[in-house]
Each structure stands twice: as C-alpha cells, then as structure tokens.
C-alpha cells in the first residue's frame, strides 16, 4: 500500500522519490492536485477521499488508515458521487443565484487553506 501511494505521489508531484513519512502538502501538494491524486490512486484500486488525504497527509499514515478501514474513500461509493454532491444545499443555492447551472458541470467546496 505504501509503495502504491508513494508512486502516485511521485507521479502527481513530479518528484523522483517520496518517503513514507513525507507530508503531501509539504512536498508541494495542494487541494487542486489532490483531486488528480485521488483519481490516479483509484485507477490503481486504492480508494480514499480528499478529506482522508487532509486527515492523513503522509504515505505511512494514509496507508495505515486505508488498511484498517478508517478512510471514507470506499472506491465503489465514491465513483457514484454525482456533480455538486460535495456541496451543501446552501452552497448549491448560492451557486445557482450567480450562474446558469446548465453551463456549470460541477463544483467543489474550498479547503480551509483556500
């Protein structure tokens, strides 16, 4: 699990070597790259969410959480999440007031850092 995660981080961050105790965000990861990272990991059969990555930002911690089932990133459930599903009702209402919703494909909540 650690090897698979480290390889995905290396690919997404463009880093030659990632250690198991390296923090994704210290290495240059951010919430935007996290979306691609989670998608790439899913392609390899490793399921976790962006929220899980924020909670377990090292390869070691995330691998451990995945192995003990402590992540919310169930692979099959996450593939069924539709557009705007990560937004609250209030956020969807604000978005629809400002934009033609037929022109918007999806939206995601901002992280605390954003």
SS3 23: strand
pLDDT digits (tens, 9 = 90+) for 71-101: 876 444 444 567 887 788 888 898 889 888 8
DSSP-derived secondary structure letter, 109: P
CA neighbor of 75 nearest in space, from 39, 36, 29: 39
Tell me the pLDDT band of 112, cut-offs 50, 70 and 90: low
Cβ count near 95 (within 10 Å): 14
What is the model's pLDDT at position 77?
Answer: 41
Tell me the pLDDT band of 7, cut-offs 50, 70 and 90: very high
Q: Please tell me whether the overall predicted TM-score, pTM, comes out greater than 0.85 for this model.
A: no
What is 2-79's CATH number?
1.10.1200.10
d(CA 108, CA 64): 27
| DSSP letter string, 79-100 | HT--TTTTS-HHHHHHHHHHS-
**pLDDT for residue 111 is more than 80:** no
pLDDT digits (tens, 9 = 90+) for 15-66: 999 999 999 999 999 888 899 999 999 988 899 999 899 999 999 999 999 9
Cβ count near 61 (within 10 Å): 17
Where are the domains positioned within the chain? 2-79, 82-114
């Amino acid at each position: 699990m650690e090897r698979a995660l480290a390889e995905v981080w290396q690919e997404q961050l463009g880093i030659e070597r990632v250690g198991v105790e390296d923090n994704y965000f210290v290495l240059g990861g951010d919430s935007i790259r996290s979306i691609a990272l989670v998608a790439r990991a899913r392609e390899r059969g490793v399921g976790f969410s962006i929220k899980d990555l924020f909670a377990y930002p090292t390869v070691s911690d995330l691998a451990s959480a995945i192995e003990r089932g402590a992540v919310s990133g169930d692979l099959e459930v996450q593939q069924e999440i539709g557009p705007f599903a990560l937004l609250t009702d209030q956020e969807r209402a604000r978005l629809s007031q400002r934009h033609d919703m037929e022109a918007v494909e999806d939206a995601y909540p901002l992280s605390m850092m954003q």
